[in-house]
Amino acid sequence: MNIGDKVVYPMHGAGVIEGIESNEVGGVVKDYYILKLPVGNLKLMLPVDTVDQIGLREIINKDKVDEVVDVLKSKPDNIQGSWNKRFNETLERLRSGDILDAAAVARNLSIRNRKRKISGGEKRLMDLSRQILISELVYACDKTPEDITKWFENVIGTNAKD
């Protein structure tokens, strides 16, 4: 991976590698990617030697956006079980780093929240899934976070009426 590459960091979302810096931590000097995320205007430092283990990947191409739209427009999953079981299953989907999983989680929780308010923990997962999804679509579609957020709300709003 190189400076200027657009990548996805699971559980945080997509960003651009702005630079590579060397820092000493615990007496060990390591190289770190400096990743800037468009949503929340965050900057993260990721150790270069661990990017494979943490699941850093390139963003999706425009062809994959159609698959994301299909997921968002499909019926929500009906996850049964206790709140704890639903929460853990949802968290695992987000940890996968797969945009289709993030889209499904964002769809499921957004629609469930519109029908009946969800718990605080599920609300945090809903917000995180939306951040992950929107940040990647910003780069895949070459749009602003505001444009993607409006588009997402429109798609989910249409889905909720079905």
pLDDT in tens, 32-88: 999 998 766 788 899 999 888 888 899 998 889 999 999 999 888 877 777 788 888
- Full set of structural domains in the chain with CATH: 6-58 (2.40.10.170), 62-160 (1.20.58.1290)
- The pLDDT of residue 20 is 94
Whole-number Å distance between alpha carbons of 35 and 47: 11
- Whether the Cβ atoms of residue 140 and residue 65 lie closer than 8 Å to each other: yes
Whole-number Å distance between alpha carbons of 7 and 65: 15
* Model confidence at 162: pLDDT above 50: no
- The pLDDT of residue 33 is 93
How far does Cα 149 stand from its chain's mean position?
Answer: 13
Vertex 140 angle, CA 38 and 125, to 5°: 55
- The pLDDT of residue 35 is 92
- The pLDDT of residue 145 is 87
87-97 pLDDT, tens digit each = 888 899 998 88
- The pLDDT of residue 82 is 75
- The pLDDT of residue 5 is 93
Burial of 131 (0-12, 13-18, 19+ CB in 10 A): buried
Token pair recorded at residue 143: 């749009």
- The pLDDT of residue 160 is 52
Whole-number Å distance between alpha carbons of 141 and 133: 12
- The pLDDT of residue 159 is 59
- The pLDDT of residue 16 is 93
- The pLDDT of residue 114 is 84
104-157 pLDDT, tens digit each = 999 988 888 888 888 888 899 999 999 999 999 999 999 988 999 999 888 887
Token pair recorded at residue 32: 């770190």
Order of all β-strands in the sheet with 6-9: 43-47, 28-36, 13-25, 6-9, 57-58
- Whether the Cβ atoms of residue 44 and residue 51 lie closer than 8 Å to each other: no
Task: Give backbone dihedrals phi and psi of 78, rounded to 5 degrees, phi first.
Answer: -105, 85
Whole-number Å distance between alpha carbons of 118 and 98: 23
Region 24-32: mean pLDDT is 91
